[in-house]
Structure 1
């Protein structure tokens, strides 16, 4: 019987060219079995103190708990971890820590079985997904921002998701009229067939009436969805927005648990597209539970894969095995954790995301690169 022998969290830090080489952080997790099979996972904690806290939870809480546990008993390990953190773990740091270990155990299961993860999930529900260039609107001047996005489509992407009010040189996200004009000019530049998704983002603080006004003006440009124009817990605001616009509304990437998504679907009822991150939502196991809720409630699921190639791989398997996904997000700029951390970069072909066919996550992690960027 294969058992868990070692669990190692690795805090990494790297410059992200998507944001002017701002230092971005995350925690990778390496799990090794008693017979030498290695699985990789990720916990997207991002801030230094959060990454350090995740490492502490794994080293001092989960490693003693799971050492010698049967490696393929993923449901049992997931339940043990959740029960262990019952006092402090319905979301937050504990959910991040669970995510990385769960992802690594699924990687191990696929490697032991000699199958890609999507086969363990019941097979492909979709042969391919539209490749989406997911980026921040952060260059100086509206013309530069429009032309940058046009460059994504020239490079073969068929869709783009654009985050407003991010760090950088742009004023997009600072004024509703400017934001609407940017989307108008973008549609004019790209033509009627380009997929445009707008992520208003954490840097914006609108009230519901402003969000409604912007939504209805952006709807004229036929955007695919309108993401988090209000704070994620503004339940009354989202209900008002839902009743006042035809646009699809997206949210969820800052949720942690199946219970949190169920609450949104059953009691709020305003969101059409749910962003779900397997490196945040208690792993592959957590993602699949949320995906089942999306099926039950007729919602779209979108893997928030904007981190390392490890999370990208997990998200791609999960998305292609789901009937609820429409697109797949890629970082359109080079970054070490996508380009160098695995032996073969995960990338689109002719504007489509296709399955990875290797066992487990289907990637070979370059541990020398991981150690090089360890914090």
Structure 2
């Protein structure tokens, strides 16, 4: 048996060119067993105070309850941790803390079995997935923004997801006419075959009638989906939007629990594509539970893998083992937590995402890089 010995939460910070060199933060989790196996996980808490809170919950709340447990019995460990965090409330900091520990335990379970995590999940449901260049629109002017996206396709990507209203020089996001003009210019530049996914996101505030109008105008240029044009809790707005457009609606990356996704699917009934982040949704175990809901309700799942290579690896195993996944997102611009954090960069091949074959997550975390980006 491989019993949990130590659990360390490591807040890190790094500049990200995909987000206009904004300093982004997350918490890495390192779990070690008494037999010497190490597993890695991640909790995407983002803000400095949230990262500190997540680390505190792990060190003083979750480590004491999993210490001595069989690290390969992920179900028991997940249930034990979730019963402990019940008192904290549903979602948020507690769910992110649980996510990182659970992910690390799955890494250990795979290493102990000598199998990649997707085999522990029941095997591959896809041999490969369409590789998506997922980034923010942040260049100065429509021509420069279009040119950058063209460069992604020249580099082999077959799909792109573009966040509007983000940091940077771009004025894309918020002006409906300008935003539609950008999508029109993109379609003209990329041709008919390129997949374009639009993420309106938290930086834009539209009323529902504007969101409907933009959806239908962008729909003329065959966008693959339209993500979070309204605030995530605007249930009535999303229902009206769903009833007023043929464009697929995406949402969900701000949910933290199976219960939250179940409410969306059974009560709101307005979303076609659910963004799910294993570093926020209570880990690999939590993602699997949401994926089962997607199967039950006939929904598409999309792993929100927009952080470090640790979450990318977990998301890749989960996506390729899911019958409900269509694409896989990569950060197209080089960033330390993707290019240097692991021994071999996780990257597409000819526009496709292929399985990792090593045991556990299938990555080798470079601990000198972890120390270099540690947020002290």
Interval containing the TM-score (normalised by the shorter chain): over 0.9
Q: Would you say the 8 A contact 2:205–2:230 is kept in 1? A: yes
Q: Which moved more, 1:296-305 or 1:62-71?
A: 62-71
TM-score, scaled relative to structure 2: 0.99
Deviation at 1:193, TM superposition (A): 0.4
Deviation at 1:19, TM superposition (A): 2.0
Matches within 5 A, 1:1-375: 1-375=1-375
- Structure 2 gaps of 5+ residues are none
> Secondary structure at the residue paired with 2:371?
helix
TM-score, scaled relative to structure 1: 0.99
> Secondary structure at the residue paired with 1:87?
helix
Deviation at 1:372, TM superposition (A): 1.0
> Secondary structure at the residue paired with 1:42?
strand
- Poorly superposed stretches of 4+, deviation over 2 Å: none
Q: Would you say the 8 A contact 1:89–1:95 is kept in 2? A: no
> Secondary structure at the residue paired with 1:86?
helix
Q: Would you say the 8 A contact 2:133–2:157 is kept in 1? A: yes
Residue deviations 1:101-121, cap 9 Å, x none?
000000000000000011111
> Secondary structure at the residue paired with 2:23?
strand
> Secondary structure at the residue paired with 2:311?
helix
Q: Would you say the 8 A contact 2:278–2:314 is kept in 1? A: yes
State how far apart, in whole Å, the 1-side matches of 2:318 and 2:72 are.
18
Deviation at 1:303, TM superposition (A): 0.2
RMSD, aligned α-carbons: 0.6
> Secondary structure at the residue paired with 1:361?
coil
State how far apart, in whole Å, the 2-side matches of 1:275 and 1:19 are.
19
Matched length: 375
Residue deviations 1:127-151, cap 9 Å, x none?
0000000010011111000100011
Q: Would you say the 8 A contact 1:82–1:89 is kept in 2? A: no
Q: Would you say the 8 A contact 2:340–2:366 is kept in 1? A: yes
> Secondary structure at the residue paired with 2:160?
strand
- Structure 1 gaps of 5+ residues are none
> Secondary structure at the residue paired with 1:161?
strand
